Structure 1
Amino acid sequence: MRRLDHQNIVQLKYFFFSSGDKLKEEVYLNLVLEYVPETVYRVARHYTKQKQTIPLLYVKLYMYQLFRALAYIHSFGICHRDIKPQNLLLDPETSVLKLCDFGSAKQLIKDVWSSGCVLAELLLGQPIFPGESGVDQLVEIIKVLGTPSREQIRQMNPNYQEFRFPQIKAHPWHKVFRNRTPPMAIDLVCRLLDYTPATRLTPLEACAHAFFDELRDPDTRLPNGPLPPLFNFSQQEININPTLNSRLIPAHLHGQQTVTTSGNVISSTNSTPINASATGVNTTGTSNVNEKSITPTNHTTNTPPPSVLPTTNMNGPDEDNLDEQTTSGDSLNKDRS
């Protein structure tokens, strides 16, 4: 975490070691993290209780920042492996999202599938693939995506090539989501939730997707003020895939980008650098707060029609172990794309 310096990743302020209360030979690593008061999970739950979904602009804003954070950590060869709404911290005043909880982080594998599940959950108002176990989840995934081909199984996990799956046709994506779901949102989901890891979008490619074009519109504003900084790319980000830069940087900012002495890129219309200052610290990166101020400010929505699908967790077919599950039931997938 000391290597990571990005506005969409919770900041490590300090760390120290301590011994156990009962067994002195036990040593604990304690992390002091930037204080961020809310989570996407609590915001989504608030809307669910009101039988509503998060306004689409906020879905775009949260997911864009998540993909930007993932692109950044993946550029270091780091995978989070536990992407879920509970690990997406929010500042309700600025709508800045910060990725936290790197306890499951590994090298070389990616988080794209899990992010697709988060996007689908925010659009549906509930998780997309239900299941109490790995097998239950896999059944729900097949109900939507259809039975994976032998080649898809080989690319996910060669050890399962001889496993016999029930032959089920894919469910049309437009029937999975509500009628009012934008086609670009559905297109992005299906490009993320692909059995074949190599054909899924990368996080930076996801940022460049047309679903996020509204964020690149200079006239787009939140009900309580301007959007948070979204295009202040660091040199590390600029170098990830230079062919995408013309799509990532809005047309009205072309030619207005400058690199600061710290390696941050800022625009002349928004001089906020990529390093965000913290409002406080705690030991978990989250906090217990009252229900007030957890919703996007001054934004009303209509009650959506009921969803087509029931509920599930974040992660899908596991390329490491198709039967693996955690005690919380939300880490079945470890992407290699």
Structure 2
Amino acid sequence: MGMEYAPNNMHQMIRGYADIGLTMPTEYAKLYTYQMFRALGYMHALGLCHRDIKPRNLLVYPNWGVLKLCDFGSAKNLNDGRPNALYICSRHYRAPELLFGTRNYTVAVDIWSAGCVYAELILGRILYPGKTVAEQRNLVTRQLPKELIEIAPPDVVELVISTLSLKASLRPSAFESCAYRCYDQLRYGDILIPNDQPLPPLFNFNHTEVKAAGILIKELLPRQLL
């Protein structure tokens, strides 16, 4: 079976920047995380939860500025009548409700994982690096590192804090995340990817996405597309 070649995953990108003492530039972090949330929005609209969002499962095409989800082996329709696995998702990106034993979880577990990924892009290291489940439980109940709040732009901190709410029902949906003001730079800015190419299509929402977004679509689209 032929598979599409991807030059990098997000884990490799993060480590590459860390090796030279840097973190991913804010503009590129916004570009890639926006596509991560948009992809999750499409999955959730189809009734599917990914359940293993982490940097290694995010394929990156730097020359095009494109990010794609991969590894759907843990994906599931949470409302299909089958029991939902409790031990799911890589530990460092596992939502609190999973860590504390809830089986009736929602797609909000993906939002938590995505928030952890965004924080990792900012910090250049894993946000909650628990070595055991017990240590992970302890870490996720602490406040966000002061360093993250100090170095990230306020609009990014606003989104990350929302996605990392301990209460699942308070986390934004994937499309609500895309509508946060930190992504206005993509909607109205002039960001170029490293080779000075224009941004990939970010607002070509299909029927499924438009239906799932509802009235939020007006906030997701640049004004010139309304």
Same fold (TM over 0.5): yes
SS in structure 2 of the partner of residue 179 of structure 1: helix
Quote the residue 2:158 is aligned against: 187
Structure 2 residue 192 is the aligned partner of structure 1 residue 221: yes
Report what 1:316 is aligned to. Answer: none
**What's the counterpart of residue 143 of structure 1?**
142
Per-residue deviation at 1:250? 0.3
Alignment match, 1:175: 146
> In the TM superposition, what whole-angstrom CA distance separates every residue of 1:191-215 from its partner, at most 9, and x where no partner exists?
0001111110000000000011100
Structure 1 residue 177: Cα displacement: 1.1
Gaps of 5+ in 1: 1-13, 15-31, 145-172, 255-337
1:52 offset after TM fit, Å?
0.6
Q: Give distance in 1, aligned partners of 2:149 and 2:208.
A: 38
How far residue 90 of structure 1 moved from its aligned partner, in angstroms, is: 1.1
In structure 2, distance between residues paired with 1:244 and 1:33? 35
TM-score, normalising length from structure 2? 0.82
Three-state SS of the structure 1 residue aligned to 2:71 is coil
Q: Which has the higher contact order (CA 8 A, sep 6+)?
A: 1
Structure 2 spans left out of the alignment, 5+ residues? 79-105
Equivalent residues in 2 for 1:42-61 (5 A)? Answer: 42-61=12-31
Q: Please, which of 34, 53, 58 is the counterpart of residue 88 of structure 1?
A: 58
Structure 1 residue 218, shift from structure 2 partner: 4.9
Given that 1:37 and 1:91 are in contact with CA atoms closer than 8 Å, whether structure 2 keeps it comes out as yes
Q: CA deviation at 1:188?
A: 0.4
Distance 1:140 1:126 in 2: 15
Q: Which residue pairs with 1:34 in the alignment?
A: 4
Select 2:73's aligned residue among 95, 100, 103.
103
Q: 1:174 to 1:217 in 2, by over 3 A?
A: farther
In 1, the alpha carbon distance for the partners of 2:188 and 2:22 equals: 26
Q: In structure 1, what is the equivalent of residue 122 of structure 2?
A: 123
* Partner Cα distance (1:62, 1:240) in 2: 21
Q: 2:215: which partner in 1?
A: 243
Cα separation, 1, equivalents of 2:218 and 2:47: 24
Bigger Rg over Cα: 1
**Structure 2 counterparts to residues 198-209 of structure 1, below 5 A:** 198-209=169-180
TM-score of the aligned structures, taking structure 1 as reference length: 0.56
User: Among the aligned pairs, what percent are the same residue?
Assistant: 44
8 Å contact from structure 1 (residues 124, 178) kept in 2: no
CA RMSD of aligned residues (A): 1.5
Matched position secondary structure for 1:97:
strand
Which residue identity lines up with residue 41 of structure 2 in the other structure?
A
In the alignment, the residues of structure 2 paired with residue 221 and residue 116 of structure 1 have an alpha-carbon distance, to the nearest angstrom, of: 24
CA distance 1:187–1:218, shift in 2 (3 Å):
closer
Determine the structure 1 residue equivalent to 2:90. Answer: none
The alignment partner of 1:98 has SS state of strand
- 2:129 and 2:168 map into 1 onto residues whose CA distance is 21
Deviant stretches of 4+, over 2 Å:
32-35, 218-223
SS at match of 2:21: coil
Q: Distance in 1 between matches of 2:145 and 2:111?
A: 21
**Which secondary structure state, in structure 1, belongs to the residue aligned with residue 72 of structure 2?**
coil
Change (3 A) 1:221 1:252: farther
Which structure's residues are more often helix, by fraction?
A: 2
Does 2:74 match 1:75? no
How far off is 1:223 after superposition? 3.7
